[in-house]
Amino acid sequence: MSNPLARLALWLAVAAVLCSITAANFPSLLSESLSDTFGSLLPAIPFAALLTVIFALRWDDLRDVLAREGGMSSELAIRLTGVATVAVLIILAGVTGTSVVLSGVAVVLTFYGSSLAVIPGARRLLLPYALTYAAGVTAPTILQAAFGEPLVTVSTALSTWVVSLTGVPIAWQGPQFFLLSKTGDIVNATITPGCSSVISVTTFLGLLALMHFDMRKDVGSTVKLAVAGVVALTLLNSVRIAVLIWVGYLSGAGAFWGIHNWVGYAIFIGFYMVALVVYSRMGEAKAKPLGGAISLNPTRPGPSA
């Protein structure tokens, strides 16, 4: 099978079938998380969106790899590693299927494991995407458990200040707020660790790491944007909460809860796209890039494997 598109189609078809086994619960768990989350930003969606865009931009690299692939008996050890990876995920499906985070990781590892089995030559090209996605999906849960409560205090203080600028009559009791809307509804909610900026910040840092590998910028540019992004996203999270409160004040509890799961996506994904444009115009790396090892295009510089 020498046609790159045919190899790609085979890999995606195999991966899709295997994902239906290793992560069968992922769609329902994702839907449940979205409905239960107070306006926070589940990292799976922005990660998947930007990974798809960047992955599409690497089509020339992937096509070169696909064109050089040998028969199914080539690189047998790598192919068997991929088969073993997917086999382990199938065995653990009962465990990973209980959590949207674990199920999301199972999806990406299944895709990567199947790529080892079908197109082993793409392992270095695809590995940073797999690792970044897995880290980006799991890190928010860990950091939220460790730093969620302090961030709630910060988010509450900033949100109180932002809302005060709007003139909305609202009562705060710690992270909980109450207001009487113009429609006569009582709107009340609580800022929880899931509503703090930890998810949007860790999502951004994960995406920035991926862009650093892919665009090969110098470390200084990446660090500068990382610091600026953390500060900006912390403020934007308070703006998000203020927007929800303003909508609730004008249109009542129904409108408040109707948009609370989606307003974050509009604000934060917009920020990510702006950051992508800004980052693309920042300085290139002067030395051999850390991400050079993932490029399999012989016309591009990078350290040898």
Mark out the alpha helices in the chain (DSSP H runs). 4-22, 26-36, 44-57, 59-68, 76-91, 93-96, 100-118, 123-166, 198-215, 219-251, 253-259, 263-280
Identity of the residue numbered 169: P
CB of 206 within 8 A of CB of 47?
yes
What was the pLDDT predicted at 198?
Answer: 78
Residue 294, domain member (yes or no): no
Q: For residue 76, what are its two tokens?
A: 């047998």
Residue 293, domain member (yes or no): no
Residue 193, domain member (yes or no): yes
What was the pLDDT predicted at 45?
Answer: 59
Predicted confidence (pLDDT) per residue in 68-105, tens digit: 877 777 888 999 999 999 999 999 999 988 887 888 88
The Cβ of residue 75 has, within 10 Å, a number of other Cβ atoms equal to 18
Q: For residue 38, what are its two tokens?
A: 């107070």
Q: Mean of the per-residue pLDDT values for the chain?
A: 79
39-53, 118-132, 190-204: segment of lowest average pLDDT: 39-53
Residue 51 DSSP class: H
The Cβ of residue 113 has, within 10 Å, a number of other Cβ atoms equal to 24
CB of 260 within 8 A of CB of 244?
yes
Residue 177's pLDDT band, with cuts at 50, 70 and 90, is: very high
Residue 300, domain member (yes or no): no
Q: For residue 249, what are its two tokens?
A: 């004040």
DSSP, collapsed to helix, strand or coil, labels residue 68 as helix
Number of domains in the chain: 1
Q: Which of 116, 132, 140 is nearest to 65 (CA)?
A: 116
Residue 165, domain member (yes or no): yes
Residue 299, domain member (yes or no): no
Beta-bridge partners for 217: 284
- Domain span holding position 145: 4-283
Residue 264, domain member (yes or no): yes
Predicted confidence (pLDDT) per residue in 136-172, tens digit: 777 777 777 777 778 888 889 999 999 988 888 999 9
Residue 289, domain member (yes or no): no
CB of 75 within 8 A of CB of 120?
yes
Q: Which of 55, 79, 57 is nearest to 69 (CA)?
A: 79
Residue 122 to residue 90: CA distance in whole angstroms? 23
Q: Which of 83, 81, 105 is nearest to 93 (CA)?
A: 105
pTM here is: 0.65
Strands 186-190, 176-180: pairing kind: antiparallel
DSSP, collapsed to helix, strand or coil, labels residue 195 as helix
